[in-house]
Amino acid sequence: MSEEIKDIESQKEDEEGYIAMHEHEGEGYNMEPEKRKAAVISDEEYIKNRVLNQRDWYDSKASINQKRYKQFKKWEIILAASIPVVISFSAMGVVENTDIITKISEVNGVKKSVSLLSLASIFQIIAATAGILLVIFSKVLELESYYKSWIEYRDMAEKIERERMLYVTRTEPYDEKNAYPLLVEKIEGLLAREIQKWKQIPKAQMQTELLDKAREAINKNLQTKLGK
């Protein structure tokens, strides 16, 4: 009789140990999921505090990158279109013969007006400045990858929203009893893959690549000017 009691107690201890070991695991491993100590949130709370929060964050980031990309691109187009026009103006006879700043100098008793700054020179300075700004804007777009970030953030926001809409409308695969755990698995999987993607390039490496690209752009620009 005592041996039977010991066997029962031993079996009970094994079950309690097994439950404690797998206390926070899924239903397939937990013999009594209702005894979990961690607070269980409802699907409504999860969607509000996690799904919508992440969707809005990615949506905001997409909008910011879209705005910055379009701003730089507009200025790039304006500068690229205006440079040939300004250069053409500087080559006009009227502009070349118009002096802005002059100086009176006397040579052998003869006073002569010497041009210090002509209208043509001003147009040439404007064209050169516009060319420098054009290179800067182009390289900023390349380095910051606003377009790529805009597309990636928008894609992520739409993926999260798609899963939410499928869930709230009870559309397949969220038309079964395990719909809520499946939603959590899908959303957290998307977020985990996104984090892993950003971790692939260390920050120090990113900074080094940006500096190398900046130096390359400066050297290329200098070589172009020296070649002229």
Between vectors from CA 129 to CA 124 and to CA 132, what angle results, nearest 5°?
130
Predicted local confidence at residue 30, as pLDDT: 46
Specify the length of the chain in residues. 228
Tokens of 2: 């005592």
pTM equals 0.63
Along the 228 residues of the chain, how does pLDDT read in single tens digits? 455 555 555 555 555 544 444 444 444 444 455 566 767 788 899 999 999 999 999 999 999 999 999 999 999 999 888 888 888 877 776 566 666 666 666 666 666 665 666 677 787 888 888 888 888 888 888 888 899 999 999 999 999 999 999 999 999 999 888 899 999 999 999 999 888 877 665 554 555 565 666 566 656 655 554 454
Tokens of 169: 């409308």
Tokens of 202: 């260390």
In this structure, are residues 69 and 146 in contact, taking their beta carbons and an 8 Å threshold? Answer: yes
Which contacts qualify for 63-68: CB closer than 8 Å, 24 or more apart? 65/146, 65/147, 65/149, 65/150, 65/153, 66/146, 66/150, 66/154, 68/144, 68/146
**Amino acid at site 112:** K
